Amino acid sequence: MTQEFALYGLANGFSAILAEADALWRFMGGTGSVMSLGLAALGSALGIGIAGQAAAGAWAKEARAGRNLSFTYIILVGMPISQTLYAMIVMNNLGGVLGNADVAVNSAGLLFGIGLATGVAEMLSAWMQGIVGAAGIRALSDGEGQGLAFIIIAMGIVETVGIFAMVFLLGMIPAA
- Domain ranges, ordered by start, for the chain: 23-170
Distance CA 158, CA 147 (A): 17
Q: What is the mean pLDDT of residues 132-145?
A: 92
Give residue 107's pLDDT. 87
Round the average pLDDT of the chain to a whole number and report it.
89
Q: What is the mean pLDDT of residues 71-78?
A: 95
Distance CA 83, CA 101 (A): 29
Q: What is the mean pLDDT of residues 42-67?
A: 96
From the DSSP assignment, how many helices (H) and strands (E) are in the chain? 6, 0
pTM for the whole structure: 0.83
Q: Is the pLDDT of residue 5 over 60?
A: no
Give residue 88's pLDDT. 96
Give residue 84's pLDDT. 97
Distance CA 122, CA 160 (A): 10
Name the CATH topology of 23-170: Four Helix Bundle (Hemerythrin (Met), subunit A) (1.20.120)
